């Protein structure tokens, strides 16, 4: 396995992602990782390494730009808000990450998928709403809303949304709207709702059993990772 920090461009913006790949002669499916609202971090890099251990080439996309790594909740919210409120720019940034994944040595460009966490979950859903040619995407505790639900007709990929049933940041009305969006567009979709889980249930850097809106849940983290693996086996069969 090789690990590498890679600079790439989207328009005039310089972005800096993180790659884990095998450049041997055997082609590997590629998985894009889109981080939470704090951007490229040790957590998202670890997830890429975990994907590489499963046999995939992985690339952590940089949505914000090189050197932009917010560290406070206020700064994270401000940075994420720029892209949440400008979905065309968000789609362009994540597509640039997908292109970088496609170019990694040893990546089978015909077998691509993406996963995203929180802000990243919203982002990978926007990627396929924009018509990206992929096998599948997985949203972990991501926002499910979009200002352009009619774009679901562009989705070619399978969709798996892994959701905390008690997530106060993704209310029931948003979940129902997502279900209707997927259903009306006849997408190949699944939504798994995990009991006793709130937002950020996969993030082991957070306290477990935290009474607030975000909390790590080890059991649900493990269950959702297994669900992703089963989903990818189907996507890449």
Domains and CATH numbers, the chain: 2-235 (3.40.50.1820)
Low-confidence ranges of the chain (pLDDT < 50): none
pTM: 0.98
Pairing type for strands 28-34 and 107-117 reads: parallel
Which residue, among 191, 61, 202, 34, has the nearest Cα to 124 in the 3D structure? 34
pLDDT of residue 23: 79
Q: How far is CA 58 from CA 7, 146, 186, 195, 198, in A?
A: 15, 26, 29, 30, 27
pLDDT of residue 137: 99
CA distance 24 to 62: 25
pLDDT of residue 24: 81
Q: What is the DSSP letter of 207?
A: P
- Under 8 Å between Cβ of 156 and 131: yes
CA distance 170 to 3: 34
Q: How far is CA 53 from CA 2, 108, 128, in A?
A: 12, 17, 25
pLDDT of residue 64: 98
């Amino acid at each position: 396995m090789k690990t590498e920090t890679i600079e790439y461009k989207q328009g005039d913006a310089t972005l800096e992602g993180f790659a884990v790949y095998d450049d041997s002669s055997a082609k590997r499916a590629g998985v894009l990782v889109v981080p939470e609202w704090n951007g490229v971090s040790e957590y998202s890099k670890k997830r890429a390494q975990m994907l590489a251990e499963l046999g995939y080439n992985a690339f952590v996309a940089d949505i914000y730009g090189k050197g932009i790594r917010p560290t406070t909740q206020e700064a994270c919210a401000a940075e994420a808000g720029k892209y949440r409120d400008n979905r065309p720019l968000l789609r362009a940034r994540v597509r640039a990450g997908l292109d970088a994944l496609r170019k990694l040595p040893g990546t089978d460009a015909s077998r691509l998928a993406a996963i995203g966490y929180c802000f990243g979950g919203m982002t990978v859903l926007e990627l396929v709403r924009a018509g990206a040619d992929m096998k599948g995407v997985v949203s972990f505790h991501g926002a499910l809303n979009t200002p352009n639900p009619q774009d679901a007709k562009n989705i070619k990929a399978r969709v798996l949304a892994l959701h905390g049933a008690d997530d106060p940041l993704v209310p029931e009305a948003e979940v129902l709207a997502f279900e209707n969006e997927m259903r009306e567009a006849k997408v190949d979709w699944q939504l798994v709702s995990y009991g006793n889980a709130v937002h950020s249930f996969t993030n082991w850097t957070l306290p477990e059993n935290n009474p607030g809106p975000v909390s790590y849940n080890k059991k649900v983290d493990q269950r959702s990772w297994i669900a992703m693996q089963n989903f990818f086996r189907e996507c890449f069969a």
